[in-house]
Structure 1
Amino acid sequence: MYHAVGHRPAKAAYGLSVSPEAFAEQLALLDAEGFTPVTTGELGAAWRGGRRVLPSKPVLITFDDGYEGVHRHALPSLVKYGFRSSLFVSTGWLRGRYEGPGAPDTMLDWDQVRQLADAGAEIGGHSHTHPQLDQLDDERLRFEVLRCREIVADELAGAPVSFAYPYGYSSRRVRRAVHAAGYAQALAVNNALAAPRQGPFALRRITVQRGTGIEQFGRLVSGTATYRDVARERILTRGYAVVRRSRSAVRHAREAAASRV
């Protein structure tokens, strides 16, 4: 899971960014080790028991949000190796007629998204305004996942089949809403490798960030990562999950109290 790719991304995106040089080095390692990138849709189709057969060493290269550096810096390296990828866009952050406030850095425009798609990227949904989906009421939740899908379908003449949860978090209610909106699979984070047993709407990913060295990257993609490689991210993920559940419980209690007034 990548986010921004750039030399000097904005502060809000810096920690979850990689430099263009690091990204190129990581793709070179994947190529040298015989990995074959596939899209999220291809992975989902294979694991649902369809006719598609995965290569012997499949890997997903995914980008969340829609940073402009994915086109400027990542695309040349992807083209160099003929690698496919999956780009999950927050449609209200992209530059163009749907653009709204809140984007953390310079984002892609739709012509750039189309160029990425032409180069083999699957374009998936990442909500419209990038909220914490599990904190929304049902109406707003439906809007976020459906509006995103409608805009991508309108801009690319084809509805997306894959979704990535903003912040990597979901709940059973969120997963049902994503399924009902027409997506066939969805990605979380959890900093672990994906596996069929996780179910198509909770597939795990590993975060690649500014401090991920090439040796650590090699261990992460090969499945030989040590606890130290993923400990910090997993602890943060679990801690924040507790905070989110507490916030959700407080919100539901307030709504129940208000309904009794």
Structure 2
Amino acid sequence: MTTLATALPGAASGVLDEAPPMPLPVLMYHSVGDSVSADFRRWEVPPGLFAEQLGALAASGYHLTGLTDALAHPHRRQVAITFDDGFEDFVTTALPALQTADAGATLYIPTAYAGRRATWLDDYTERNLPLLGWSDLADLAGEGIELGSHGHRHLELDVVPTALARYDVTASRRMIEEKTGRSPDSFSYPFGYHCASVRHVVAAAGFDSACEVGYRLHQPTQSRFGISRLVVDRAAGAADILRLVSLGHRDALTSARRGLRSGWRAYRAARWRLGRDG
């Protein structure tokens, strides 16, 4: 007689076939606040809305976690939460909301700027925003927040000489190890920019994954050194965030950005050379 046990694949060994890995939505945040600068507001999510987004995801059955933990559990219904730059409002505003939602996160640090100001934001009032210092960062690591690298000096790594990119990446990893006693597993390309040589540098430095922007869900078959992330809009309510983690970005503007990458890189490379020679 055929029973349920003998009819199921793998039943003879007592192990059922495992479901295929699931696409991974990776959310990208920078700041949880409400600044007065119109230019920077696209990188901020108001505190109340951030809490609403986390609540909607948790209520829909998503496990909310950092990136390395998410990559280690590819069959779980989950959303990875990442923050770039390490602004102080991560501790004052984002962390309480994460704790309320029982959510983890990965925080990417531009190590040369820890405890200083975001001076790479030359075109924004927020260039003076304070960044978390090493004491706070070490405390966060002790509380379960994953610390990753956002480079050392927040350089456009795909247009600088490979030797400089290698120094910057390895210096960032070494500093996180020295200051926190923990080796970072994950890297976030500054500005989201990367290329084959940069990906090789990051992998050779000992990182296990690296994030771009991408505007898509990360697929299990894609490289762990080009993990796509989803930019969270400051107006994204509960329905919007659930749609985003299901579908990714679907608007024409994000598609156009993908198509313009090579031309934009050539422009940035020329600008960097002019700045160096000038």
Specify the TM-score bucket, using the shorter chain as the normaliser.
Answer: 0.7 to 0.9
Q: Which has the higher contact order (CA 8 A, sep 6+)?
A: 2
Q: Are the structure 2 counterparts of residues 119 and 227 from structure 1 closer, same or farther at C-alpha, using a change threshold of 3 Å? A: same
- Tell me the residue number matched to 1:62: 82
Report SS of the residue matched to 1:183. Answer: coil
Report SS of the residue matched to 1:189. Answer: strand
Q: What is the letter of the counterpart of residue 227 of structure 2?
A: L
Distance 1:233 1:108 in 2: 31
1:102 aligns with 2:120: yes
- Tell me the residue number matched to 1:257: none
- Asked if the contact 2:70/2:79 (under 8 Å) is kept, the reply is no
Instruction: Provide, for residues 169-195 of structure 1, a one-character-per-residue CA deviation record: whole Å limited to 9, x for no partner.
Output: 210000000011110111111100011
Note the 1:1-261 alignment, pairs <5 A: 1-8=28-35, 13-44=40-71, 46=72, 53-54=73-74, 56-95=76-115, 101-102=119-120, 104=127, 105-223=129-247, 227-228=250-251, 231-248=252-269
Report SS of the residue matched to 2:87. Answer: coil
- Asked if the contact 2:35/2:41 (under 8 Å) is kept, the reply is yes
- Tell me the residue number matched to 2:9: none
- Listed as ranges, the gaps of 5+ residues in structure 1 are 47-52, 253-261
Instruction: Provide, for residues 189-233 of structure 1, a one-character-per-residue CA deviation record: whole Å limited to 9, x for no partner.
Output: 11000112211101111011323343221100123x5723xx323
How far residue 26 of structure 1 moved from its aligned partner, in angstroms, is 0.5
Rg comparison, structure with higher value: 2
Distance 1:102 1:248 in 2: 17
Distance 1:156 1:213 in 2: 35
Distance 1:100 1:227 in 2: 31
Q: Are the structure 2 counterparts of residues 192 and 100 from structure 1 closer, same or farther at C-alpha, using a change threshold of 3 Å? A: closer
Distance 1:37 1:141 in 2: 32
Report SS of the residue matched to 2:242. Answer: helix
- Asked if the contact 1:149/1:160 (under 8 Å) is kept, the reply is yes
Q: Percent identity?
A: 32
Q: Are the structure 2 counterparts of residues 237 and 54 from structure 1 closer, same or farther at C-alpha, using a change threshold of 3 Å? A: closer
Equivalenced residue count is: 242
Q: What is the letter of the counterpart of residue 102 of structure 1?
A: W
Report SS of the residue matched to 1:59. Answer: strand
Distance 1:85 1:150 in 2: 21
- Listed as ranges, the gaps of 5+ residues in structure 2 are 1-27, 122-126, 274-278
Distance 1:26 1:235 in 2: 27
- Return the TM-score normalized by structure 1: 0.83
More helix by percentage: 1
How far residue 151 of structure 1 moved from its aligned partner, in angstroms, is 0.9
Distance 2:234 2:271 in 1: 35
How far residue 38 of structure 1 moved from its aligned partner, in angstroms, is 2.8
Q: Are the structure 2 counterparts of residues 14 and 168 from structure 1 closer, same or farther at C-alpha, using a change threshold of 3 Å? A: same
- Tell me the residue number matched to 2:25: none
Distance 1:173 1:39 in 2: 26
How far residue 54 of structure 1 moved from its aligned partner, in angstroms, is 4.2
Instruction: Provide, for residues 89-113 of structure 1, a one-character-per-residue CA deviation record: whole Å limited to 9, x for no partner.
Output: 11122206xx785363221122222
- Return the TM-score normalized by structure 2: 0.79
How far residue 250 of structure 1 moved from its aligned partner, in angstroms, is 9.0
- Asked if the contact 2:110/2:152 (under 8 Å) is kept, the reply is yes
How far residue 140 of structure 1 moved from its aligned partner, in angstroms, is 1.0
